[in-house]
């Protein structure tokens, strides 16, 4: 069970290639919420997540996490947030196990095996990631969601490359996470069914 968390964005201004992606953007979400950021390619969905995660800096605006201003110092947010970008972010020459132990060095073998069994990846434990399909690589990246204890998930197109079964597995896990007090912000261009009773939609 996570303690209560919130994310407040105020008057955010994001520019890329001298083009405004958003200006004056404000919203607030809380524990139990799933914020789905919708928009066409190039609308600024990925940039918004990168700004929240501290990967890029906005021109203007404030970010508060659980009431504390983290606009300049993202250390508090980074301690409590898991960011998974549109690209898998896994090391293709390493095995599945090596990748996950790199990101989660304290994970127990039993927990790792349970997670990979749930995701249909246990038989690929010792396989180099470069030998896997695109959908399997995506599942390796998303396995961090099962192994992480962080309250805030920032997920850029998490359903990309997943088959129908993979989508259902991920939706169920997101639903479980927010039911325990977690908070999820995700981008998507897909018209997916509602994940939770507290879905919030933001269109860019």
How confident is the model over 16-58, as pLDDT tens digits? 888 999 999 999 999 999 999 988 888 899 999 999 999 999 9
Q: Does 44 fall in a domain?
A: yes
Task: Name the strand (E) or helix (H) holding 173.
Answer: helix 164-179
DSSP for 66-82 reads TTEE-SS--HHHHHHEE
In the chain, % helix, strand, coil (3-state, to 5) comes to 35, 30, 40
pLDDT of 191 > 80? The answer is no
The CATH number of residue 165's host domain is 3.40.50.300
The confidence score (pLDDT) of residue 189 equals: 74
Q: Does 169 fall in a domain?
A: yes
How confident is the model over 142-171, as pLDDT tens digits? 999 999 999 999 999 999 899 999 999 999
pLDDT of 197 > 70? The answer is no
Tell me the C-alpha distance between 178 and 4, whole Å.
11
Tell me the C-alpha distance between 148 and 51, whole Å.
21
In eight-state DSSP terms, residue 128 is B
Q: What is the pTM for the complete model shown?
A: 0.93
Q: How many domains does the chain have?
A: 1
Tell me the backbone φ, ψ of residue 96, rounded to 5 degrees.
-60, -50
Q: Does 90 fall in a domain?
A: yes
Tell me the C-alpha distance between 34 and 201, whole Å.
8
User: CA of 44: how far to CAs of 78, 160, 195, in Å?
Assistant: 21, 17, 22
The confidence score (pLDDT) of residue 42 equals: 83
| The residue to which tokens 């990846």 are assigned | 121
Q: Does 116 fall in a domain?
A: yes
| Among the listed residues 10, 33, 35, 34, the one whose alpha carbon sits nearest the alpha carbon of residue 22 | 10
Q: Does 23 fall in a domain?
A: yes
Q: Does 1 fall in a domain?
A: no
Domain extent for 143? 6-203
Tell me the C-alpha distance between 101 and 106, whole Å.
7
CA 90 to chain centre: 14
Q: Does 141 fall in a domain?
A: yes
């Amino acid at each position: 069970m996570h303690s209560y968390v919130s994310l407040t964005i105020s008057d955010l201004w994001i520019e890329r290639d001298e083009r405004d992606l958003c200006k004056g953007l404000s919203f607030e979400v809380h524990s139990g919420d799933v914020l789905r950021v919708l928009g066409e390619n190039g609308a600024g969905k990925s940039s918004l997540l990168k700004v929240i995660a501290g990967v890029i800096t906005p021109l203007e605006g404030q970010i508060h996490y659980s009431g504390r201003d983290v606009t300049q110092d993202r250390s508090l947010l980074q301690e409590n947030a898991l960011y998974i970008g549109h690209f898998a972010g896994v090391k293709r020459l390493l095995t599945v196990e090596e990748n996950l132990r790199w990101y989660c060095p304290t994970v127990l073998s039993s927990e790792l095996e349970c997670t990979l069994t749930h995701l249909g990846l246990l038989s690929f434990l010792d396989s180099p990631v470069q030998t896997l399909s695109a959908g399997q690589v995506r599942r390796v990246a998303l396995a961090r969601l099962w192994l992480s204890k962080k309250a805030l998930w920032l997920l850029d197109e998490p359903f990309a490359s997943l088959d129908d079964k993979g989508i259902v597995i991920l939706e169920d896990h997101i639903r479980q996470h927010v039911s325990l007090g977690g908070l999820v912000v995700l981008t998507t261009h897909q018209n997916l069914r509602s994940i939770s009773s507290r879905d919030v939609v933001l269109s860019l």
